[in-house]
Chains A and B, each alone.
Chain A
Amino acid sequence: MKNLYRPIESVIEDIREETANIKTYRFRPKEPITFEAGQFVELTVPGVGEAPFTPSSNPNVTDTMEITIMEVGSVTDALAKMKVGDTVGIRGPYGEGYNLKDFEGRDILIVGGGVGLAPLRSLILALFDDIDKYKRISIRYGARSPADIVYLDLLPDWEKMKNTEVQLTIDEPHPDWTGTVGVVTVLLEDLAFVTTVDVDQLPLDTSNAIACVCGPPIMLKFVNMALLDKGFKPENIYHSMERNMSCGLGKCGHCMLGEYYICKDGPVLTAAQIAKFEDPF
């Protein structure tokens, strides 16, 4: 029987600096780990411990896996000190992926805040692989300052994709910034599709559109309110829940939210699933 708790050795193949405290790591596991967009893995820094992450790379690439990670605690701080060629452990994937079949033919709104764009990247890349199946993809992203924007070099390529737009905002005015200013909800006030590429610029069809949201809990709370206000259906709003998924197996209890184990039923839950909780985020 395969040991549930034992990670697969994985070598760090590349490290790319995104911001001052966020790096994207490329890992090569000794056994391929396949995942669906939305699922997560447990990453082990040997001797230090584990933490849950959603991969940032394309789920259709199976021999390597990229994860964009911010330094926020013991595991991520220890990881930040590691070098190319060092070995970590990965186990998973865990949880439920997005039901992409259900996304077909619809407008898809992706809302990210800060490093929250990292898990959404694997979804975005999966959507790009089958771009013709979806109506339009709108990516709306907020960061604290221009220096905190992740994937700055990739965003222009995303914008060039068929039927895709990218809108950015930063929290506070900054001398280097001429774009929108304000927290990410300012990008939800007007849902017109404003891509430079020539596609229909009608507003997103909120009664039928899918929204996928990832960011800090306070952002999820306000984005959730804004989206419901705009007419998104609760069952079409997917939130990446921020919980302490420790075992990933629906056993250790740390990620419980009522009767849900976020690691098994999530990590993405719909606004409909969490509607009964007073403050689920």
Chain B
Amino acid sequence: MGRAHDTKQEGWVRMKEVFIGKENLRRLIERWAKDHRVYVPVTFDIMNNEDTPDYELVGDEVPEKLHLAGAALALPAKSFIFYPREVVANYPSSEADADVTAPPTVIVGPRGCDVRGLAKFDKVYWSTAHFTEEYDDPFVIEKRKNTYIVSVDCTAAKETCFCTMVGGEPFAKNGFDVNLSPIDTGFILTVGSEKGETLMAGADDLVADVQQNHTDERERRRNSVKEAIDRQNAEFAVDVAYDKHELEGSADAWAYVTQNCVACGACNRTCPTCTCFLLVDQRAKGGYERSRNWDTCLSIGYARTGGGGNSRPDLPQRLDNRIRCKYEYSRDRYGLVTCTGCGRCIDVCMGRIDMREAVKHIVTEKAKA
């Protein structure tokens, strides 16, 4: 690697930064694809919308329309380490138990919100201060270990983006293996971990030193996106800090927030920090298999117990639980506010429920009471 430009951001690990041109980035991705599965963001023509970005698996060639601009993609990065459906056990046979292995995979394109969201998975599925090793989930951990996160700075904000309201920024500060900051002539490439260093091994011929004008341009771009997000969210501002919320609103206040909810669960599925699942057993070759499936806490059966008991029978109670899980319960349990402000729950809501409006309504009504 070229002479590294060291940075140290607020006490995090020393990161190495280099410049890489657009063509050389394609070559780098090509090299990664030789011994990794590599997913890159590409624009598709979906329902006459020409520039819809989504991830594509790199085959023999790196796709033409790499999309390393704009804001977060619809698919949250969690999808790569926590599959929508996955067999986690076979029984009673002990020989053919569920496969935990995960192939080395590079994901190019997660944004700051995605990367911050992965921290929740580490808390829930990997040993933490709260969970001892025996609770480690090998299915998520193996994928996490073998997945390389190549994050990309946002170069624009969707109108639903609000990361700066919840302690985030439109780029990843840590938690990535490699980060790409788009600038006019190419990218500033930051190595953020040992895994990132292995990805960059032998790539010296593709990179160059970072110049002062590169970093100046990056700061300008980052600040302009941050300012745009701040600006578009001014109307949602409340007097309570994002990590100090106590949203125990009145039943009326929550009923108001919930009025257009149909419990479809789209918000759960696109949320980068929704970790919940349902176990389903069924017949399979040689016996039975148990699969783990993404679940939604908005469904009426979610908290139902045998005999029909239900601690959250009403939809407003369930949306209350979902939103407070993000702001309060995860904070109180894991020290992590798990709304990353990605705005996906707003993008996909057919009832046009807006997380920012919901929080503002509850806080405002509470202040009146």
Contacts and interface: CB of A to CB of B under 8 A. Distances in A.
Interface of A: 1-7, 9, 44, 46-51, 70, 72-73, 75-76, 87, 89, 216-217, 242-244, 246-247, 249-261, 264, 278, 281
Given A4-B137, A4-B138, A73-B307, 15 more contacts: A2-B134, A4-B136, A5-B89, A6-B97, A9-B91, A44-B91, A47-B283, A49-B280, A49-B281, A70-B307, A89-B91, A217-B311, A246-B279, A255-B303, A257-B311
Contacts of B137: 4, 249, 251
A50 B306 contact: no
B273 to A, nearest CB: 11
Given A243-B303, A252-B277, A7 B124 contact: no
Nearest to B311: A243
A116 B300 CA distance: 25
A243 B305 CA distance: 6
A251 B275 contact: yes
Contacts of A256: 321, 325, 329
A259 B332 contact: yes
A252 B307 contact: no
Interface in B115-152: 124-125, 130-131, 134-138
A78 B294 CA distance: 25
A243 B310 CA distance: 8
Contact of B92 (A50, A87, A253, A264): A87
A216 B309 contact: yes
A254 B276 CA distance: 8
A278 B135 CA distance: 31
B197 interface: no
24 contacts: A1-B138, A2-B134, A3-B97, A4-B137, A9-B91, A46-B92, A49-B281, A73-B306, A73-B307, A75-B306, A76-B306, A87-B92, A216-B309, A242-B305, A242-B311, A244-B303, A251-B125, A251-B137, A251-B275, A252-B279, A252-B295, A253-B276, A254-B278, A259-B329
Nearest to A216: B309
B288 A5 contact: no
B304 interface: yes
Contacts of B138: 1, 3-4
A252 B295 CA distance: 8
